[in-house]
Amino acid sequence: MKESELTGQKLWEDYWEKKDDRLITKRKNLLFKEILKIFDKYLPNSKGLTILEIGGGQGEYLLYLTRKFSYKAHSLDYSRIGNEQTHDLFSKAGLSVELFDRDLFSDNSDLPKFDIVFSLGLIEHFDNPGLVVEKHLELVKSGGILLLGVPNYGGIYRPVLKRLAPAVEATHNMNTMDLENWRIFEEKFTLQPIFTGYIGGFEPMNMKKLEVKNVFNKILYFFIRVLMVLFSFRMEFLRKFNSKYWSGYLIGIYRKK
């Protein structure tokens, strides 16, 4: 673990150990579907391109892209449990994946360059996201694609999370949840944007966290669960309306010069 990392290896080992049903959950999650729509629209449909997911844990997104575009799959993660789950997921699907069991900040000079490198839910766990982006780019071929995704716990979600789950701010760099702050590393590394934006519309699931269990918080948490049901089955059309104040996710897709 690096000094600038807001989480640690043990946290991720515990996280993935408890998330063996995560794939089923994501398939039912409309935000997950919105992320896949961006993949389908903006990533190249070219069989045989090499793709690397960094910090992917179970590898659901990587599996989707491997199936959809016939990419050659690779995964880099320092979580032993996450790597085992990625291996098992691909094995069950009858597809191959090459796993790199290592830290992104270790010496990766022995690794090849990839056509596409992506991470979802990673850079927000570091004090210096620009440094993390730089480590991503070291693994991208010239002219290749970098894809970054971050959940949005800012905007209207932030005051709710401060009350229900104050630890969220301790493990997430909230500055990464404003796309305006991404301009810093976009300019520094002269990245060419293919798509940048907020997606998913209002996402009550971003508030589905309960650490401080007093009476008021339990009532608030109940209403959040009700909103989740409404926005999953009755109000899906609202997901086309996006803003940094309420959208559930932000994504940037870039070409490396």
Which regions of the chain does DSSP assign to beta strands (E)?
Answer: 50-54, 72-77, 97-101, 114-120, 140-151, 192-202, 247-255
User: How many residues does this entry show for the chain?
Assistant: 257
**Which architecture, in CATH terms, is 9-152+171-202+243-255?**
3-Layer(aba) Sandwich (3.40)
Residue 82 pLDDT class (50, 70, 90 cuts): confident
Q: Give yes or no for residue 14 having a pLDDT over 60.
A: no
Q: Of 85 and 30, which is predicted with more confidence?
A: 85
Taking only the tens place, the pLDDT of each residue in 30-79 is: 788 899 999 999 999 999 999 999 987 789 999 999 999 999 999 999 88
Nearest to 90 by CA among 131, 68, 58, 114: 58
Average pLDDT over residues 4-30: 49
Confidence band of 13 (pLDDT split at 50, 70, 90): very low
Query: What sign does the CA torsion over 21, 56, 47, 72 have?
Result: negative
Task: List the domain boundaries for the chain.
Answer: 9-152+171-202+243-255
- pTM for the whole thing? 0.87
